[in-house]
Amino acid sequence: MKSFVCNLIPLILLLFVLLFSSPAQAGGPGLEGTWKFVPTGSTDIVTWGNSLPQIDISTAGGKVRVLHNWLERGSVAFADTFDFRPGGGDVTSVVRSEIWPENWFMGVLSSPGDPRTVSGRWLEPEKSFRVVTRQTVRTSQGKTTLTTTRDYTLGPQGKTLTLSEKRSSRPSPVVLVFERKEPLK
């Protein structure tokens, strides 16, 4: 009888954890998934009529991957991906495209061949994280290094994602609102 009770205790503990854990931890609506752009509630930028951003967030092996797609007529016109380990050091990659992802709607260009560094950390695990990127860009005044801080925050019911981008060259953030794209059934 004592052996039976000892074997039952781990099962009861497992059931307790599954029943009372948060939705994000139990496979509920966390940050992972595909997020489609919602112009209302976002900073008004004239090019939303031509290019619409979409975000895919995934996690694996302790890393977070963020994929930004810019859609034109339903097809991906440009994509930018970065990975980071929350709380880890900088990740450096080489810039491959002239499109500067943090400001793709203006005449600021990336500098292909130059490095871009990315670092990130959880603000609230599974609900909000901050990513900081640093890279050289080209403007009409010449080359300069800019830092962009992006905060990704999950809405209360897990149905919306707010992205706030703040650049070292501009005091006011650009705010983008997204809603979860439902998977195909």
Domain ranges of the chain: 1-26, 31-180
Residues of the chain above pLDDT 90, percent: 40
Distances (CA, A) of 171 to 64, 105, 180: 27, 17, 29
CA distance 19 to 72: 43
Local confidence band at 22 (pLDDT 50, 70, 90 cut-offs): very low
Residue labelled with tokens 């302790």 = 62
Helix (H, G, I), strand (E, B) or coil at 95: coil
Task: Check residue 11 and give its pLDDT.
Answer: 39
Q: By the 8 A CB rule, do 99 and 106 touch?
A: no
- CATH class name, domain 31-180: mainly beta
pLDDT of 125 above 50: yes
pLDDT of 146 above 80: yes
pLDDT tens digits for 68-99? Answer: 888 888 788 888 888 999 999 999 988 887 77
Residues of the chain above pLDDT 70, percent: 77
Q: Which one-letter amino acid corresponds to residue 2?
A: K
pTM of the model: 0.78
Establish how many alpha carbons lie within 13 A of residue 85's alpha carbon, considering only the half-sphere containing its beta carbon.
7
Local confidence band at 175 (pLDDT 50, 70, 90 cut-offs): very high
Task: Check residue 4 and give its pLDDT.
Answer: 47
* Residue among 106, 140, 129 nearest 59 (CA): 129
Task: Check residue 43 and give its pLDDT.
Answer: 85
How high does pLDDT run on average in the chain?
80
CA distance 122 to 11: 31
- Using only C-alpha atoms, what is the Rg of the chain? 20
